[in-house]
Structure 1
Amino acid sequence: MELGLTDRVAIITGPAKGMGAAITRSFAAEGAKLALIGRDVAAIEPVAKEVKAAGAQAIVISCDLTRPEQCDKAADETKKAFGRIDILVNVAGGSGPVGKTGAETTPEEFDEIVTLNMNGCFHTMRSVTPVMIAQKYGKIVNVGGTFGMRGRAGRMAYSASKWGLRGITKSFALEVGQHNINVNCVAPGMVDGPRFRDKVCADMAKRLNITVEEAMERHAADYALKRVTLDQDVANACLFLASDVSRQITGVDLPVDGGWAML
């Protein structure tokens, strides 16, 4: 199926590693022109170099997503470089405290993860929508999480931030749909990688006195498909929602979790 992403201009936040890197490679492979933004430019450069070596057009822009003026600047630089902004994929985010109850979570920990996971997406969305409205075209994909659909004990702050992101997504979708702009949310479950293994599984292993591998198996056992999500699974969902194949889909939460949040 032709996704129609060739020469589309996509801003991707958090592109340096994990899901972000997989999404970056996938959009590059589909022929999109990329603006890769984040605070740690040095960490982004390797993936930018990789996709450019494969023939993609990509620029790297320094941007602290919690600073609205920097997000405005990143949008301006992208439009100056490529002439338009067709797609925004908000991947950047954090996990917050793991294994802490709500009562144990400090106000500082709560504020930090909510600011990153909610404000960061709001700022970039606010920065690109005027361009998308003017050109009567746009696709915004926010990467949320299934803990923002069902909640999770021991992950209150993270869960709150992802529930909030769903509200931002749905409200924007209602407001900009008349301008031919789709706004959706991809909600990964547990995604295999260093953060999942070294933080989430390690925390479970410590609490239950089991190995990290056994903790991974317990997580997988919760899902209908009995397997943990991979970075590429999330990337594929983002490609779909950023393409014209999904032209009539907006305001939705798409779980990519092997069957947990909606079952």
Structure 2
Amino acid sequence: MDLKLQDRVAIITGPAKGMGAAVTRAFAAEGCKLSLLGRDVEAIAPVAEEIRLKGADVIVVPCDLTDPEACEAAASRTVEAFGTVDILVNVAGGSGPIGKTGVETTPEEFDDIVTLNMHGCFHTMRAVLPAMIDKRYGKIVNVGGTFGMRGRAGRMAYSASKWGLRGITKSFALEVGVHNINVNCVAPGMVDGPRFRDKVCADMAKKLNITVEEAMERHAADYALKRVTTDEDVANACLFLASDVSRQLTGVDMPVDGGWAML
């Protein structure tokens, strides 16, 4: 299926590694012009160079997503480079404290993850929406998480931040739908990668006195499809929601989790 994303201008946050890098590669492969945002531009550079060598038109823009003025400047820089913004994919985020109860979580830890996972998306959405409203077209995809749909013991702060992002997504969707703008949320479950293996599985392995591989198997056993999500699975969902194939979907939470949030 042709998603007709050729020459669409997409801003992607958190593109340096993991899901963000996979999303970047996927949108580049579809022919999008890319503006890659993040604080550490040196970390983004290898991904940018990789897709540039394959023919992608890409810029890297330094941006602290928790700073609204920086987000507005990044949006302006994108418009200067490409003339418009068609798509925003908010991948950047953090995991917050892992294995801590709500009582054990400090106010500082709670504030830090809420600021990153909610404020960052809010600031970038506010920055790009005026241009999208003016031309009556836009696609916004926020990457949330299934722990923001069912909650999770030991991940209270993270769950709160992703639950809040769902509210931001739905409210914006209701407000800008009249301007032909779709706003949706992709909610990955556990995604295989260094953070999942080295933090989440390592924490379970330590508590249960099992190996990391056994911990991974226990996680997979919770899902209907009995497998852990990959970065590419998330990237494909983002492509779908950023294309006109999904033109009649807005304000939705799309779990990409092998069947956990629905159980």
TM tier, smaller? over 0.9
Q: Report the counterpart of residue 54 of structure 2 in structure 1.
A: 54
Residue type of the partner of 1:36? L
Residue type of the partner of 2:99? G
Per the alignment, in what secondary structure is the counterpart of residue 59 of structure 2?
strand
Give the distance between the partners of 1:222 and 1:45, measured in 2 at CA.
Answer: 37
1:242 equivalenced with 2:246 (yes/no): no
Unaligned runs of at least 5 residues, structure 2 = none
Q: Report the counterpart of residue 35 of structure 2 in structure 1.
A: 35
Q: Report the counterpart of residue 217 of structure 2 in structure 1.
A: 217
Q: Report the counterpart of residue 134 of structure 1 in structure 2.
A: 134
Residue type of the partner of 1:13? T
Give the distance between the partners of 2:87 and 2:131, measured in 1 at CA.
Answer: 11
Structure 1 residue 223: deviation in Å?
0.1
Q: Report the counterpart of residue 180 of structure 1 in structure 2.
A: 180
Residues 107-153 of structure 1 deviation map (CA, whole Å, 9 limit, x = unaligned): 00000000000000000000000000001100000000000000000
Residues 30-88 of structure 1 deviation map (CA, whole Å, 9 limit, x = unaligned): 00000000000000000000000000100000000000000000000000100000000
Q: Report the counterpart of residue 192 of structure 1 in structure 2.
A: 192
* 1:76-95 matches, cutoff 5 A: 76-95=76-95
Q: Report the counterpart of residue 100 of structure 2 in structure 1.
A: 100
1:251 equivalenced with 2:251 (yes/no): yes
Give the distance between the partners of 1:78 and 1:135, measured in 2 at CA.
Answer: 16
Residues 152-177 of structure 1 deviation map (CA, whole Å, 9 limit, x = unaligned): 00000000000000000000000000
Residue type of the partner of 2:182? N
Per the alignment, in what secondary structure is the counterpart of residue 98 of structure 1?
coil
Residues 198-256 of structure 1 deviation map (CA, whole Å, 9 limit, x = unaligned): 00000000010100000000000000000000000000000000000000000000000
Give the distance between the partners of 1:168 and 1:162, measured in 2 at CA.
Answer: 10
Q: Report the counterpart of residue 230 of structure 2 in structure 1.
A: 230
Per the alignment, in what secondary structure is the counterpart of residue 182 of structure 1?
strand
Residue type of the partner of 2:146? T
Give the distance between the partners of 2:241 and 2:262, measured in 1 at CA.
Answer: 19
1:143 equivalenced with 2:153 (yes/no): no
Give the distance between the partners of 1:82 and 1:158, measured in 2 at CA.
Answer: 35
Residue-pair matches, total? 263
Q: Report the counterpart of residue 64 of structure 1 in structure 2.
A: 64
Residue type of the partner of 1:247? R
CA RMSD of superposed structures (Å): 0.3
Per the alignment, in what secondary structure is the counterpart of residue 126 of structure 1?
helix
Length-normalised TM-score, structure 1:
1.00
Give the distance between the partners of 1:254 and 1:82, measured in 2 at CA.
Answer: 30
Structure 1 residue 262: deviation in Å?
1.1
Give the distance between the partners of 1:4 and 1:73, measured in 2 at CA.
Answer: 28
Give the distance between the partners of 1:177 and 1:58, measured in 2 at CA.
Answer: 29
Per the alignment, in what secondary structure is the counterpart of residue 4 of structure 1?
coil
Per the alignment, in what secondary structure is the counterpart of residue 5 of structure 2?
coil
Give the distance between the partners of 1:134 and 1:4, measured in 2 at CA.
Answer: 21
- After the TM superposition, which segments of 4 or more aligned residues of structure 1 sit over 6 Å from their partners? none
Q: Report the counterpart of residue 19 of structure 1 in structure 2.
A: 19
Per the alignment, in what secondary structure is the counterpart of residue 131 of structure 2?
helix
Per the alignment, in what secondary structure is the counterpart of residue 201 of structure 1?
helix
Residue type of the partner of 1:195? R
Residue type of the partner of 2:118? M
Residue type of the partner of 1:219? H
Unaligned runs of at least 5 residues, structure 1 = none
